[in-house]
Amino acid sequence: MPEPWRTGVFTRIEQETHNTRRFWIQIPEVEEFVFKPGQFVTLDLPIHEQKNKRWRSYSIASPPDGNTIELVIVLLEGGAGTHYLFNHVQVGTEVLLRGPQGVFTLPPVIDRDLFFISTGTGIAPFRSMLHYIKKHQIPHQQIYCIFGTRTQKDILYYEEMKQLEREIPGLHYIPTLSREQWEGRMGYVHAIYEELAADRKPAHFYLCGWRAMINEARQRIAQMGYERQYIHFELFD
């Protein structure tokens, strides 16, 4: 049975970078919106007469906690959904949503290293997972959170991720920039995970972001000798 459609209310909106915003949605009809870190919700936005052309799915960026969820959304040029969210939604606006959905979730037992590889707002499910691991002190191996974007002004949750790196044993936060020189890593995400997993250590690879990155990463990780069952992905069209 699919999850029912519920009415949510936007309770807070904050600009995160020049083209991304954080949206908090409360679902008043439930005390607890139960989901697994890594899952997503589908919003039914008033942008088209046909239902399936109104639906937009976004990974939940917050860990399970009460009946409010956070989404982080990038404004897409020519995107009807994000145009509505950025130009018409305000605190108090209601929205129909369905969820949670998806199987992009942590393994029941984290007995291998985790590689969280993302571009853009693809960091959202990993932020949810990391806060969940920290809060519940989930036993884990090494965690490599590799985030690729163009410039420093495009980095999402930078200070928060640095703080999580200090608080979660074995977490390595590695932002990398493709279009700007800075004190951190430069280039694309692929070189980083290939370097870190060069010894073919047992690992789960979680990929979230744009299709081109995911397709290339899946191919490269398989060529490194990792089986398909250890490569998990959630892509943006």
pLDDT tens digits for 88-103? 999 999 999 999 999 9
Is residue 188 scored above 90 in pLDDT?
Answer: yes
Helices 158-167, 124-136: crossing angle, 10 deg rounding: 30
pLDDT tens digits for 210-234? 899 999 999 999 999 999 999 999 8
User: Domain 5-101 in CATH: superfamily?
Assistant: Translation factors (2.40.30.10)
Overall average pLDDT of the 71-77 stretch: 95
Domains 5-101 and 113-236 share a fold: no
Query: H or E segment at 81?
Result: helix 80-87
Domain boundaries, the chain: 5-101, 113-236
CATH tag, 113-236: 3.40.50.80
pLDDT tens digits for 120-147? 999 999 999 999 999 999 999 999 999 9
Is residue 1 scored above 80 in pLDDT?
Answer: no
Q: Could you give the CA distance from residue 41 to residue 99 in angstroms, rounded to a whole number? A: 5
In the numeric block, the tokens 């519940």 are attached to 136
Q: Could you give the CA distance from residue 21 to residue 171 in angstroms, rounded to a whole number? A: 26
Name the nearest CA neighbour of 152 among 175, 133, 129: 175
pLDDT score of 236: 67
CA 112 to chain centre: 20
pTM of the model: 0.95
Q: What is the mean pLDDT of the chain?
A: 95
